[in-house]
Every structure is written in structure tokens, then in C-alpha cells.
Amino acid sequence: MRNALAFWRRFSRNRAALLGLFIVLAIIAVAVAAPFLYPDDPMGMVAQPFLWPLQDPEFPFGSDSLGRDLGAQIFHGAHVSLLIGATATIASVLIGVTVGSLAGYYGGWVDEALMRFTEVVQTIPPFILTIIVVAIFHSTIGTIVVAISIVSWPSVARLVRAEFLTLREREFVQAGIVMGMSDFRLIVTQILPNSMTPVIIAASLMMASSILIEAGLSFLGLGDPNVVSWGAIIGAGREAIREAWYISALPGIAIIAAVLGLNLVGEGLNDALNPRLRRR
């Protein structure tokens, strides 16, 4: 508790981090409020097409080329972006932590093999690999999450491995070995909790990049066709970009806000959790 308080004091001293936290909370609020503010299907054609923002008080965000309420789409889009961003991050962290802790704990050929594999994955251009996975396995929220986590886990694995390599030599781990703890218990109860700091920081940055990847996929028309997504609105708006550029502009601002907020939070966490440590 005392630690949490000290952490909060350090975090809140950083104005940029607080701004980031505020943005992230605001976007979560938007996502939560969406079904209440816009209970109808956001894909429904409810207005006259090509209403500019503020032109019609009933649709303050304007409408798109099919007369769908842009506000409803953006609000509901927040939900999809956050959902995909969060689940993809959790999945990548799980894969990364597993690979990294096995490599770091066992060392030797296990480490060698896993790290070589990680290197191979890191060589493949990530966005192209996600496109291929989504293209082959069809676009659903599930495949998008899988595709993003396939390309995102290597950085976590490297972080965790590095932590394990140093922690493995520490007294409390050695004591655990002497006490005859099983490898699994040692990893899960002793080493992992002590190596979470860099993972938490990486996770918030990774969520930001997951949102960017998802936006790129849905912009290309590879998103889940059954849900609204910010990238998809921008992609659809492209066809009428000359006349109604606001259709593409508005969701872009939402993406920037979400990614910026998460990046600021990540940096704030980094500064608050390792005050003097170098960032890797």
C-alpha cells in the first residue's frame, strides 16, 4: 500500500503522464458510454449523407456518405480499438513471458533455440505478417488479435529473458532451489513477480502499437466487417475524400489521442518505476 502511494506520487508529479492517463480514461469512458449514448446500430443509415460536423445539431459529428452517424461510429469504434488493443497485448505478454522465462530460466540450448526463433520472427516485417495471417484465416476480431500478438511478443520475450538472466543468480532464487522448489513454482512464484516492471511498461506501449496495427488493418479493409472500427471509417471515407475529408479526419484524431495517451502513460510508468535506470 505504501509502495503504491509512493509510486502514485512519483507518477503524478509527471504532468505528461497525468495527461496521458486522463486521455486513456476519457477514451475508456467513451467506449463505455457508447451503447447508452448511441443505443442504435452505428451502421444504421439515420441521417442525410455528407452532413458536416456541427451542421446539424442532431448529429454533431456529421454523417458519412451513406448517412450513418459519424459520432455513433467513432464512439462504438473506441470499444473495438480498446478491446483489440487490450486482448492483443495480453496475448502477446502471455506468449512473450512464456518464451522469455523459459529461455532465461533454463539457458543453454533451450535459450539458444527460443532466441533464434525470436530473431526469425523479428526479421519478418510485422505488418506484412499480420496482413497475411488475417488474409488467410479471414477477418474476425479473434484472428486480428492472434495476428497482432504473433508479431508483438518478441520484444516482451527479450525483456523477460534479460530479467530472468539476472534474477536467476540472486539469493532468493538460489534459496528456492536449495529448498527444492520445482522449476515451475520458482518461475511463477519467485522470479516472475520480480520481473514484471519492464513488462508492465512494455505492455502499455504495446497496446498503443496494437491499436495502430488494428487501424492499419481495418483501413485496408481487413478488419472484422461486422464491427465499426476507426481505421475502417477512414478507409471508407477515402472514396469521398475530396468532398468530405472530415469523414476520414475525425476518426484519425481519435486514433492519435488513444495512441498518444497510452504512450504517455507508458513513459510515465517507466519514469515512476525505474527512476534512474536506463531505458533499454
Partner 1 sequence: MQKVVKRNILGYKNNESKSQRAPFHSTAGSLWTDGAQERLDPQRFHVPALIKPVLSRLWRSVAIVVAIAALNFIIVHMAPGDVADVMAGESGAASPEYLADLKQRFGLDQPLIVQFFVYMGRMAQFDLGYSFRFGRPVASLIFERLPATLILAIPTLMLAFVMGSVLGVVASRRVGTWRDAAISVGALVFYATPLFWIGLMLIILFGVKLGWLPTGGMQTIGANYTGFAYVLDVGRHMILPVVTLSLFYMAYYARLMRASMLEVFGQDFIATARSKGLSEGRVAYRHVLRNALLPVVTVLGLQVAHLLGGTVLVETVFGWPGLGRLAFDSVLSRDVNLLLGILLMSSILVVSTNIAVEALYRWLDPRIGAA
Candidate residues 39, 226, 242, 275; the one interacting with partner 1 per rule CB under 8 A: 242
Angle at 261 between CA 203 and CA 39, to 5 degrees: 100
Q: What is the DSSP string of 138-184?
A: ---HHHHHHHHHHHHHHHHHHHHHHHHHHHTTSHHHHHHHHTT--HH
Please report where in the chains the cell 445539431 appears, as a residue: 57
Cβ proximity to partner 1, 61 vs 219, nearer residue: 219
Considering the complex, state which of residue 15 and residue 185 has its C-beta at the smaller distance from partner 1. Answer: 15
* CA-atom Rg of the chain in angstroms: 22
Per-residue contact string for residues 159-198; x = within reach of partner 1 by CB under 8 A: ----------------------------------------
Enumerate residues 6+ apart whose C-beta is below 8 A from 6. Answer: none
Question: What whole-number distance in Å separates Cα of residue 72 and Cα of residue 7?
Answer: 37
Closest CA to 117 of 143, 96, 134, 132: 96
Residue 215, interface with partner 1 (CB under 8 A)?
A: yes
CA distance 155 to 121: 10
4-63 binders of partner 1 (CB under 8 A): none
**115 near partner 1, judged by CB under 8 A:** no
Looking from the CA of 15 toward its CB, the CA atoms found within 13 Å total: 0
User: According to CB under 8 A, which one of 50, 106, 127, 162 is a site residue for partner 1?
Assistant: 127
Cβ atoms of 241 and 65 within 8 Å: the answer is no
Span from 46-54, 84-92, 106-114, 219-227 in contact with partner 1 (CB under 8 A): 219-227
Name the phi and psi angles at 56, rounded to 5: -120, 115
Q: Which is nearer to partner 1, 46 or 52 (CB)?
A: 52
Min separation Cβ 58 and partner 1, Å = 26
Binding test (CB under 8 A) with partner 1, winner from 133, 146, 165, 196: 133
Beta bridge partners of 56: 59
Q: Which of 1, 5, 136, 178 binds partner 1 (CB under 8 A)?
A: 136
Q: Using the rule CB under 8 A, is 84 a contact of partner 1?
A: no
Q: Is position 275 an interface residue for partner 1 (rule: CB under 8 A)?
A: no
Residues that bind partner 1 (CB under 8 A): 116-117, 119-120, 122-133, 135-138, 208, 212, 215-216, 219-222, 231, 234, 238, 241-242, 245, 248-249, 252, 255-256, 259-260, 263-264, 278-279
